[in-house]
Amino acid sequence: MSLAASPAVKRLADWDADRLRRLADEHGTPLYVTDHERIRENFARFDDAFDFAHVMYAAKANTGRAVIRTLYDAGADVECAAAGELHRALAAGVAPEDLQYTAVNPPDGDLDYAVELWEDTPDLTITAGAEMTLDRLAERGFDGRLAIRVNPGIGTGHHEKVATGKDAKFGIPYGDVPRVVEAARERFDVVGLHAHVGSGVLSDDLADHRRALSKVADVATRVGELEFLDLGGGFGVPYRPEEPPLDIQAAAEMVRDVTADVEATIALEPGRYLLADAATLLARVNTIKRTPETRVVGVDAGLTAMIRPAMFDSYHHIRNLSGDDREPVASSVGGPLCTSADVFCTDRPIPRPEAGDVLAIGNVGAYGINLASQFHSQPRPAEIAIDGDREAVVRRRETMADLTRLEDDAEGLYGRFDRTN
């Protein structure tokens, strides 16, 4: 079987339970396990379906060095939404000319970094979504390759917080784009238009996605003389076990049809589609509590390890790796943080968890470890990369010393605060 013909989704049931339990025992929990063979399969399938497009990886989904390197070696260029992402991509070995910088309300330091990089690498493309950003770029001496971000006024996706196509924060209003492009051509080398209209798009969302992309394609034909039209990413994966995967061939045909009259290279920036099902988060059960309302299952991973359920009310399948064959019991799985938002599920049937069991939380490869935090002074998890039979620690677990490392210099400057003075 070719990589492009690999299964459309890796379900949580497809992971090797014995291997995951062993990794949890050897490396501790919470623990991210990322399957790089699966990342390559997902990229090959996407690249094969969109064989008419230039495919870049949207680094914001997961900026881990190993992930970026795997996708870059597979043939993906890299789209970065912040200077820090540019820095991380360069550290992963990506050539500057293979980067695209898509700024959203960029801080001064971010623009400084991007322009300095452009001065050494004129092939770097910078995307701007506000007229003031164009002025700020010109003030820094930038007159190079520029893309204008379009806001089509239509958003799609799995949650209102990611329906960026109708959010005024993102891009130039649709009706203003021709005027802005015409003016920008006097100061920059305008090479493209860019749009990203939403995230988590599945087959049932393709009609809405088509409406949004059609508006972007229409304005591209009107402004003309473009090197590329970048339609962003947004293609989703099924998070529920019974949910069908995106028909990637139908999605590709939709994009091909919508852009048929565009005389420019079509570019795409998948992130979630490439990464989501390629990682799982392992957590160990430490507390079982029966209450009149529910059966509480306490684990050592919380929203600091994976915030999507708290942030988006998102569903992530949970598997009991220590007792798949047990009778399912309605369980509310939550972490160690002092907030009611620190819950992965409520009253969900799970094969009866017991103290010491290892649970696997599925589809966490995109926006999982990238959104990890130190809230409650929780050290962030470690990450193991697996690739066939090979295994490697690609992100060490933070220690207690790491929690205060950035404050050590302040202690040296001010001394330890003495409550008696």
- What amino acid occupies position 382? A
- What amino acid occupies position 299? V
Distance, in Å, from the CA atom of 378 to the CA atom of 391, rounded to the nearest integer, reads 25
Long-range contacts: 342-349, Cβ < 8 Å, 24+? 342/302, 342/303, 342/310, 343/309, 343/310, 344/299, 344/301, 344/306, 344/309, 344/316, 344/318, 345/309, 345/315, 345/316, 345/318, 346/294, 347/294, 348/318
CB atoms within 10 A of CB 40: 20
Q: Does residue 338 carry a catalytic annotation?
A: yes
The first and second tokens of residue 358, run together, are: 């290892």
Residue 147's H or E segment, with its range, is strand 145-151
> Of residues 338, 400, 401, 406, which has the active-site annotation?
338
Angle among Cα 127, 130, 132 to the nearest 5 degrees reads 110
Distance, in Å, from the CA atom of 366 to the CA atom of 374, rounded to the nearest integer, reads 19
For strands 279-290 and 358-361, give the pairing.
antiparallel
CB atoms within 10 A of CB 387: 16
Active site residues: 338
